[in-house]
Amino acid sequence: MSSQEVRLESTIGGYTAKGQLHTLSVWFILALRLMMGIAFLQSGVDKVLSGSFSAAGYLQNAPPSNGSPVADLFVSMGNTAWFVDFVNIAVPWGEVLIGLGLLVGLLTRLAAFWGAFMMLMFYLGNWDVSHGYINGDFAYMLVFLSVAAFGAGRILGLDAYVEQYEVGGVPLVERYPWTRYLLG
């Protein structure tokens, strides 16, 4: 094994998976982060600039028409005025902030978590299993989770610098270990 190769090992429920990253893996991890950053930034900016984004019709109609197992939840959300108002701001601006966070590699794990959450909601709302349970929304959710798991913000991203920022002479992530859930 070369000095640049990294071994992976994880045990869950008594099962151990082992692997080895290729030296090119870092570029693919960076590409995933940037791809999702561009996609979310573009989608969010389009919604913000249009000034006409409204989730009410989607929440009330799409999940029931496609047989979503949580259609009643979506309809209830769509019939709750304050929640629709919240979603009308949270979705476009959330996409913008997630996209920006991923593009510059800042608060990457936090951005990836919310991106994965949004994709889970889109997966449940856009329910279409006629070609199987795996679709683009599900795949994007896994990409977001991969970006978080690999600490993609440390690859040519600002998280690498923020983590080493010294607070009282100690790197931020050593002084405040909980920040590792937001950065990386």
Report d(CA 121, CA 166) in Å as an integer.
38
Report d(CA 113, CA 50) in Å as an integer.
26
Mapping DSSP to helix (H, G, I), strand (E, B) and coil, where does residue 130 land? strand
Report d(CA 166, CA 120) in Å as an integer.
36
132 has pLDDT over 50: yes
Residue type (1 letter), 126: N
pLDDT digits (tens, 9 = 90+) for 18-76: 988 888 889 999 999 999 999 999 999 999 999 999 999 999 999 999 989 999 999 99
Give 4's pLDDT tier (boundaries 50, 70, 90).
Answer: low
pLDDT digits (tens, 9 = 90+) for 72-92: 999 999 999 999 999 999 999
pLDDT at 3: 53
Distances (CA, A) of 121 to 25, 114, 115, 141: 29, 11, 10, 10
pLDDT digits (tens, 9 = 90+) for 90-120: 999 999 999 999 999 999 999 999 999 999 9
Domain ranges of the chain: 26-181
How much is the pTM?
A: 0.89
> For tokens 């800042």, what's the residue?
106
